[in-house]
Chains A and B, each alone.
Chain A
Amino acid sequence: MSEKYFELSNLSVGYNKKTLIHDICLDIKKGEIVTLIGPNGAGKSTILKSITRQLEIIGGKVLFDSEEIRSISYKDLSTRMAVVLTDRLKTELLTCHDIVATGRYPYTGRLGILSHEDEEKVDDALRAVNALDLGSRDFNAISDGQKQRILLARAICQEPEIIILDEPTSFLDIRYKLELLSILGRMAKKNGITIIMTLHEIDLAQKISDKIVCVSGDHVTRYGTPQEVFKEEIIKDLYGIDNGFFDPMFGSIELMKPAGETPEVFVISSGGAGIPVYRELQKTNTPFAAGILYENDMDYQLARLLACEVVAESPFEEISDSAFERAKELISTCSRVINAGLPIGPHNRRMLELLDFAMAQGKLETLPAEGDQHG
């Protein structure tokens, strides 16, 4: 397993002999899921087209099981590598079954007639993507999500060691995205199929991939595990984000924080109760402060990104004087104080004091608790 399996060594790729991305060095192990991420037009697809031999390699090498990929015949390669492309198929009067059956092409005889065994493999592939019922439907008459599943079934049917997918999740709604990715995950872990793909959804890329390749400018800027790559700054740089945030903890993308340095609203909450309030304030572009939040509170994670100030306290400590005083100052300058609900225990007793303080100033608005809303 530790042996080199699929290796890109000093690879340069591009169109018409013009190099777009140079010196790509990747070492991919069998059964790994490797995802290429990066901004539009960065050349992710160009890399995929080069390693599938649709584009001439400009420099360097691609080694597949220590064999130069250019020296492998198309026929041999087709039994080892399958693709799912972004090209739209222009088929005519072909059923989904027919499309999937083309995956058997490398294995059938001169005239391409399917044996009984081939037919069963087509059925198996359709079953693997939960599309057995689509078999007899015209490929043109099904939805984009279904098409994508059929194309994946076609690739599975080819019984490859590696599947290369170019943006397999575009056009898919969230349910099919999850379904498709879980199928890929299963194939990689159960059947040891190596998967190399590009994804636009970095949150999904973080969750499914074993390795992440960041492509930007004219080279691969980073290659490593999701833990190594998904850092706030790396992602911001990669995509050149200046109007929002990437939260590496949940892999979520946040819009820009409300403009303004002085908070107009002070939000008191804990345990996620504050999150909908923050988002509401963000939508109305109202600068706000939040507190007093323990640093391990989930509200803290988001407040850190969206609030202009967060009054924080170390976990499981009693609220310190400095934090308490700062919170009081902020409450005095804010015109509203929203209590989104929080449990009070021995450590945060002083929050009651803070609520009283806000009440005394006539600024406190207490949101009904979740349970009350339903009751």
Chain B
Amino acid sequence: MQNTGAAGSFRQENFRRRSRYITVFAVLAIAFCVIIVININSGNVNIPISRILDILFTRDGDPKEVDIIWTIRLPRILMAAMLGGALSLSGFLLQTFFENPIAGPFVLGISSGAKMVVAFVMIYSMSLGYTMSSYTMIGAAFIGSLMSIGFILLVARRIKNMAALLVAGIMIGYICSAITDFIVTFASDSDIVNLHGWSLGSFSGMSWSNVHITFVVVGVTLILTFLCSKPIGAYQLGEAYAQSIGVNIKFFRIALILLSSIFSATVTAFAGPISFVGIAVPFLIKGALGTSKPIVVIPATFVGGGVFCMFCDLIARLAFAPLELNISTVTSIFGAPVVIYMMINRKRRAQ
């Protein structure tokens, strides 16, 4: 009797959990659509919602409005959505890897490393008279990310302490930023204008070719990450247990690093370093879902990151229009308090 009762309560429990997942995904989907519409609607030129759908689906209407939507706002929104998702997942993967909930591409100095190499390659190619292709940008950012992670890993091997790891990351961030500033100082003026906006983080000036490339790179990486959700789940128990249930740890660690680096490199290549998204979004999503199971957390984090970045970009564009804020300014305002809350909450729970 008791056993069937307990098993029954499991089924109830399963049902309760599934309904919670469905609710979270539904809310995210609705938020996603709403934010896209608001984003298209607002700006220096307000385009009423009734005309947005027409323009989106038939490309009919005022040529000026069609132009604004199709060449400026839509690519920007799509980039914010995809890069926001990529950034959040990069954070999630790093948190899994380092078994540390406040790891993320920005905090660990990975974004800064990417920024440094991109700035270097950018100025170098400009001085030779080339413009960098998007792939070169991603490639350079990827190398920069790996350099930073490599350093962090060296430190992590020696020091198992969570705080020390973060300090190392922040130091890396400063060193890379200092070198970037150094390079920028010696670059010619016209280059800097380009570099300056990008190096502070921004979604402005995205083109459709950016969108296409990002779609391919982030799309493939997202699918690969999702397919890794089983070993990621095992890895959450720690390396020793993961190995004992059949995960090839050496191979899997490399996979985690590569996947998170591709994500953060793509973001940095196109939008520059963006802070706190990688920590705040996975935390909020896990809290909302009530689980850290990767099979649900990965897709939800991607969509949630997209919503979060589109929302922040909207504020960056509108808050002091026509002046635009850096995206990091906005993400910090919303993201940093979440991280502080997280740390306080952890401490309390530990006691």
Binding site for B on A (CB under 8 A): 52-54, 74-75, 77-79, 81-83, 85, 87, 89-95, 97-99, 102-103, 105-106, 108, 110-113, 119, 123, 127, 132-133, 135-136, 140, 158
Give chain B residues whose Cβ lies under 8 Å from the Cβ of A75. Answer: 246
Q: Is B236 an interface residue (CB 8 A)?
A: yes
Q: Is the CB of B245 within 8 A of A105?
A: yes
Q: Is the CB of B238 within 8 A of A90?
A: yes
Q: Is B229 an interface residue (CB 8 A)?
A: yes
Q: Is the CB of A94 within 8 A of B292?
A: yes
Give chain B residues whose Cβ lies under 8 Å from the Cβ of A85. Answer: 238, 240-241
Q: Is B59 an interface residue (CB 8 A)?
A: no
Count chain B CB atoms within 10 A of each CB in A79, A103, A111 and give the residue with the most: A111
Complex Cα distance, B237 from A140, in Å, reads 12
Q: Is the CB of A105 within 8 A of B234?
A: yes
Give chain A residues whose Cβ lies under 8 Å from the Cβ of B188. Answer: none
Complex Cα distance, B3 from A132, in Å, reads 8
Q: Is the CB of B238 within 8 A of A83?
A: no
Count chain A CB atoms within 10 A of each CB in B234, B244, B290, B349 and give the residue with the most: B244
Q: Is B101 an interface residue (CB 8 A)?
A: yes
Q: Is the CB of B291 within 8 A of A93?
A: yes
Question: Contact check: which of B10, B229, B240 meets A83 at CB < 8 Å?
Answer: B240
Give chain B residues whose Cβ lies under 8 Å from the Cβ of A79. Answer: 246
Question: Contact check: which of A52, A93, A113 meets B292 at CB < 8 Å?
Answer: A93
Distance in angstroms from B294 CB to nearest chain A CB is 9
Q: Interface residues of B: mostly helix, strand, loop or mixed?
A: helix
Question: Contact check: which of B238, B245, B286 meets A92 at CB < 8 Å?
Answer: B286
Complex Cα distance, B233 from A103, in Å, reads 11
Residue-wise, chain B 284-301 has the 8 Å CB interface mask toward A (1 for contact) of 001101111101000000
Residue-wise, chain B 97-108 has the 8 Å CB interface mask toward A (1 for contact) of 001010000000
Complex Cα distance, B11 from A135, in Å, reads 11
Give chain B residues whose Cβ lies under 8 Å from the Cβ of A123. Answer: 6-7, 10
Question: Contact check: which of A94, A133, A140 meets B6 at CB < 8 Å?
Answer: A133
Give chain A residues whose Cβ lies under 8 Å from the Cβ of B293. Answer: 94, 98
Give chain A residues whose Cβ lies under 8 Å from the Cβ of B241. Answer: 83, 85, 87, 89, 102
Give chain A residues whose Cβ lies under 8 Å from the Cβ of B245. Answer: 78, 102-103, 105-106, 158
7 A-B contact pairs sorted by A residue (CB < 8 Å): A81-B244, A93-B287, A110-B230, A111-B230, A127-B3, A132-B6, A136-B13
In the A-B complex, the 9 residue pairs with the closest CB atoms: A78-B246, A112-B230, A105-B245, A75-B246, A92-B292, A132-B6, A83-B244, A93-B292, A136-B13
Q: Is the CB of A93 within 8 A of B237?
A: no
Complex Cα distance, B234 from A106, in Å, reads 11
Q: Is the CB of B246 within 8 A of A112?
A: no
Distance in angstroms from A129 CB to nearest chain B CB is 13
Interface size on B, residues (CB 8 A): 33
- Chain B residue with minimal CB distance to A81? B244
Q: Is the CB of B10 within 8 A of A97?
A: yes
Interface residues of B in 6-22 (CB under 8 A from A): 6-7, 9-10, 13
Count chain A CB atoms within 10 A of each CB in B7, B13, B349 and give the residue with the most: B7
Interface residues of B in 286-320 (CB under 8 A from A): 286-287, 289-293, 295
Complex Cα distance, B247 from A98, in Å, reads 17
- CB within 8 Å for A78 and B236 given contacts A112-B295, A133-B6: no
Question: Contact check: which of B9, B13, B286 meets A93 at CB < 8 Å?
Answer: B286
Complex Cα distance, B287 from A75, in Å, reads 32
Q: Is the CB of B227 within 8 A of A93?
A: no
- Chain A residue with minimal CB distance to B233? A112
Q: Is the CB of B13 within 8 A of A135?
A: yes
Q: Is B248 an interface residue (CB 8 A)?
A: yes
Count chain B CB atoms within 10 A of each CB in A89, A91, A112 and give the residue with the most: A112
Known: A91-B237, A113-B295. 15 other contacts (CB 8 A): A54-B240, A54-B243, A77-B246, A78-B245, A83-B240, A85-B238, A90-B99, A90-B238, A97-B10, A105-B233, A111-B230, A112-B295, A127-B3, A132-B3, A135-B6
Question: Contact check: which of A82, A92, A113 meets B244 at CB < 8 Å?
Answer: A82
Complex Cα distance, B293 from A95, in Å, reads 10
Give chain A residues whose Cβ lies under 8 Å from the Cβ of B7. Answer: 123
Give chain B residues whose Cβ lies under 8 Å from the Cβ of A127. Answer: 3
Count chain B CB atoms within 10 A of each CB in A78, A79, A87, A92 and give the residue with the most: A92
Complex Cα distance, B240 from A74, in Å, reads 12
Distance in angstroms from A178 CB to nearest chain B CB is 22
Interface residues of B in 263-297 (CB under 8 A from A): 286-287, 289-293, 295
Distance in angstroms from A104 CB to nearest chain B CB is 9
Q: Is the CB of A102 within 8 A of B13?
A: no
Count chain A CB atoms within 10 A of each CB in B229, B243, B287 and give the residue with the most: B243
Complex Cα distance, B226 from A110, in Å, reads 10
Complex Cα distance, B233 from A133, in Å, reads 23
Give chain B residues whose Cβ lies under 8 Å from the Cβ of A83. Answer: 240-241, 244
Complex Cα distance, B234 from A22, in Å, reads 33
